[in-house]
Each structure stands twice: as C-alpha cells, then as structure tokens.
Amino acid sequence: MSKNRFDLDEERLATTDEHGHRVYLHPEDVQGPWKNRRQIVYWFLIGLYLILPWIYIKGKPALLVDIFNREFTFIGFTFYGVDPILFFLIAISSLFFIAFMTSLFGRVWCGWGCPQTVFIQALFMKIETFFEGSPRERRALELAPMSFSKFTKKALKWIVFTIISLHIAHTFIGYFVGPRELFYMTMQNPINHVGMFIATMIISAIFLLDFGWFREQFCIIACPYGRMQSVMMDENSLVIAYDVARGEPRRGTAGVTKEGEGDCINCYNCVKVCPTGIDIRRGTQLECIACTNCIDACDEIMIKIKKPKGLIRYASETEVQGQKRKIITPRSIVYLVIVLFFISSIAVFLNKSSNLQLILMRGKETYVQRGDEITNRFELKINHQGNRNYKLVLESSDKEVDVITPVSPIVINTHEKRSILFFRFKTSALKSGTKKITIQFFDQLTKTYVANKEVVLVGPVL
C-alpha cells in the first residue's frame, strides 16, 4: 500500500484505481515563468482560432476549406477544383513536419499548441476552478453526496462548458462553410440546414465531453501522436527531464544520511501539478505531454531551499547524463529531407495547377458522316485555378481538319468552364480510320499559345 496517493503505483496509471476504474485528476495549480509563457501562447492561439475565419482578404476568409466546392483559400489565394492529391500532400508533409519537430523538441506540440491542451488549460480548467474551487475543494465536492449546492455548482459549470463548446464548434464549422454563411444559417430554422445542424451539434458534443470530462484520457489512451512519439524521438530530443544525478538519492531514501541526499526533497509537488498524473522522476514517459508544470513546481521548491533551479528542466537524455546534445541527428535529417520533398511536391503541384487543365471527352457518337465529310464531337472541360482571365481561340495543327466551337473566343473567368468542340474533316484525311492532330489554345489577351492537346479523330476504315 502506498504511503501517500502521490507515491504512485509502479504497475498502473495514476488515472486508474486497482479495479481499473478511472481516477479523476485534480492537478494543483502552479505559478511560474513557464506557465506565464504558455498562457500567452494559449491566448494567442485561441484568439487566432476565433478571429481567423472573420478576416476577409480579397472578399474571402483568410482560411477556408470549402469541401463541397473543392476550393481551398489561404490568405487571399484560392485554389479551385482542389484535388485529393493536394490534401494528401499537405497532410503527409504536416505529419513529417511534426515528426521533425518532435525529433528536435520532443512533445512541444502537446504542451504548447495542441487544441486539447490549449482549451483545457486556458479555459475549461479555469471555469472549473471558478465554480468548484481549488483542487482540494473539487476533490471534496466529488466525494460529497449530491446536494443542492453540489448540483448547482456542477450544473452551472456544465452550462458554461456547453456554451463554450458550441462556440468552438461553430468556429470550427466556419472554417469549412465561411463565417458569414454560418451566421446566416444559425439565424434560420435548423430544419432548413438539418445536415449542418446535426454536424455542428455532434462536434459540439465531442468538444464538450473531451474538454470537460475525458481530458487527459485522450492524451494517454486515444491520441495516435502520443502513441507514436517514442518512434520519433531519441536520446538527443528535448524533453522535460528530471536530473537524476542531481536529485538522487532523494530525501527519505532508506539508509541515506542528510549529507548524502540529492536535491530532491521528495515533496511530490511535481506529481501534484501534473495533468496526466505521472511522476517525471521515473524518466520520460508516454503520458508526459511536456506541459512544463513540473518545471515551475520544482523550481519554486528549489528557490525555497536555496538550490539552483532546473532539477526538472527542458533537456535531452544525453544532457542529463552530462554529455553534449547533438541538435542535428540522422533521424532529424531524414525527417527534414522528407518534409522538404513533400513541400517541393506541393509547390510543383500548385505551379502546375495554376495553369489551365484541359480535359477532352469524346461525345456519345464516335463520329457522324455526311457524304465524304466526317464530324467528331467532343466536350472540352477547362479547370482554371489561377486569377487571370483568358480568351481562347482553338487552332488545329492540321490544315485538313477544322475545329469548330459554338462560341469563339472561349472567355474564361471562372474556375470551371465547359464547351463543345466539333472537328470536321474529309474522309480522305483519315489513315486506317484514324487521324491524330494537335489543337493549340491561343490566348487573345496575351497573344500567346497557352496550351496544346493531342486528339485522335476517328472515321470509317476505307
């Protein structure tokens, strides 16, 4: 049996009891420079998240992922007809960028940028403290039988949690439909937009349950990044580390005199403030989200006992063992090369996409013959991803073939345009029933040829 509840069991998580049931954590509040820095970052990120969709550049939100129209807008640049390849390239390069950052700085994302940490630490924990009091009072409230006072505190807390979750979820949806459209929809009867209404309610419920109740359980058992981080890190990665050589043997170790003790006074403050309930003195663990709470908690103790700060600090395993940390390692180089490869692929893809994409689709009838004249009918689909306009005139590379369009020039100022093409020629132009030609697309605005396309025409085999 443990001497106190912070002297954690070696065999099980701090968030489960001996029966496997969840132990709800009430981490102590902490003050210190690392917490102050994180609060600034958190509020900056929350502000950015809430404001970004409302910033309009060139008439469009600064960030808009319009799935329904396959449009992606980022700070004034809109990419139309975005295909899944671009999303795949962005997703995979982001993953490897996170892997690269993890190989250098450990779980810096979890502690400083993950929405889970940001919203819980900056908002939900503060609201909980406001309604239910300090960690000790919250623990007492949890154990107390239901009463009017307990019911009122819990109800008020969950009402505020719900309002905030709804707001976070609406902002999230705003990134996909645009904030003005979302505002317009919310002013109407939900029946008019039932699909969007259900999606928003489901996302709100997920945020509410996760930020309000599930919390550290998500980091410990559900987050795929948390599971994979050990693969991305090595002994040179920056982690929150306890300096074993300096701290041990800790106070109270059997058979150790006061003079022989290390700097750790075994106050458990680093454990009390940990949002995932771990003891960092046992080494780097999967459950550590690098929130820096234990650094501030331990530094406060070190100041009180007049010892140097940094018994728990940002350091690599090699540094804690007294060696020099290699910042650039083969692992980080490999990740960086992969990231650069995918970013280059995105640049190539976007550059290619900014040109006209021309797709020719043959009509239902292979060909129509009138006397010795053959007609092939095609549909021309033009994807236009850039911002400039075109006035296209189509020319055949073969003088024996006429290209006929219902309208000439074809004016392109939208991201997608369709037109009908007819190719007319004499049967004598065919060889073995086919004829290959190239059509050239001449832009009257710039007086240049902007594209060409090969077409195989067909007719009777004579």
Residues near ligand SF4 (CB under 6 A)? 240, 242, 247, 264-270, 273-276, 278, 280-281, 288-294, 297-298, 301, 311-312
In this structure, are residues 105 and 240 in contact, taking their beta carbons and an 8 Å threshold?
A: no
Instruction: Report the nearest approach of ligand SF4 to the CB of residue 24 (Å).
Output: 16
Instruction: Report the nearest approach of ligand SF4 to the CB of residue 17 (Å).
Output: 20
Instruction: Report the nearest approach of ligand SF4 to the CB of residue 295 (Å).
Output: 7
- Nearest residue to 302 via CA among 247, 355, 252, 347: 247
Task: For residues 97 and 335, give the distance between their C-alpha atoms in angstroms, rounded to a whole number.
Answer: 7
For ligand SF4, the closer CB: 108 or 185: 108
Task: For residues 346 and 307, give the distance between their C-alpha atoms in angstroms, rounded to a whole number.
Answer: 51
Taking the alpha carbons at both ends of the chain, their separation in whole angstroms is 97
Q: C-alpha angle with apex 301: 303 to 13, nearest 5 degrees?
A: 150
Q: Look at phi and psi of residue 216 and say left if phi exceeds 0, alpha if psi is from -120 to 50, else beta.
A: alpha
Instruction: Report the nearest approach of ligand SF4 to the CB of residue 105 (Å).
Output: 13
- Nearest residue to 460 via CA among 431, 421, 436, 417: 431
| Alpha-carbon distance values, 47 to 10, 119, 200 (Å) | 41, 11, 21
Task: For residues 112 and 105, give the distance between their C-alpha atoms in angstroms, rounded to a whole number.
Answer: 11
- Phi and psi at residue 148, in whole multiples of 5°? -60, -40
What is the crossing angle of helices 148-177 and 194-209, to 10°? Answer: 130
Instruction: Report the nearest approach of ligand SF4 to the CB of residue 215 (Å).
Output: 12
Task: For residues 311 and 332, give the distance between their C-alpha atoms in angstroms, rounded to a whole number.
Answer: 27
For ligand SF4, the closer CB: 78 or 121: 121
For ligand SF4, the closer CB: 98 or 289: 289
Which residues lie across from 391 on neighbouring strands? 411
Instruction: Report the nearest approach of ligand SF4 to the CB of residue 270 (Å).
Output: 3
Instruction: Report the nearest approach of ligand SF4 to the CB of residue 297 (Å).
Output: 5
- Return the amino acid letter for 80: Y
For ligand SF4, the closer CB: 178 or 275: 275
- Return the amino acid letter for 415: H
Burial of 246 (0-12, 13-18, 19+ CB in 10 A): middle
Instruction: Report the nearest approach of ligand SF4 to the CB of residue 279 (Å).
Output: 8
For ligand SF4, the closer CB: 86 or 264: 264
Instruction: Report the nearest approach of ligand SF4 to the CB of residue 251 (Å).
Output: 8
For ligand SF4, the closer CB: 53 or 247: 247
Task: For residues 451 and 210, give the distance between their C-alpha atoms in angstroms, rounded to a whole number.
Answer: 52
Decide the pairing of beta strands 71-74 and 77-79.
antiparallel
- Return the amino acid letter for 76: G
For ligand SF4, the closer CB: 301 or 437: 301
For ligand SF4, the closer CB: 79 or 268: 268
For ligand SF4, the closer CB: 279 or 443: 279
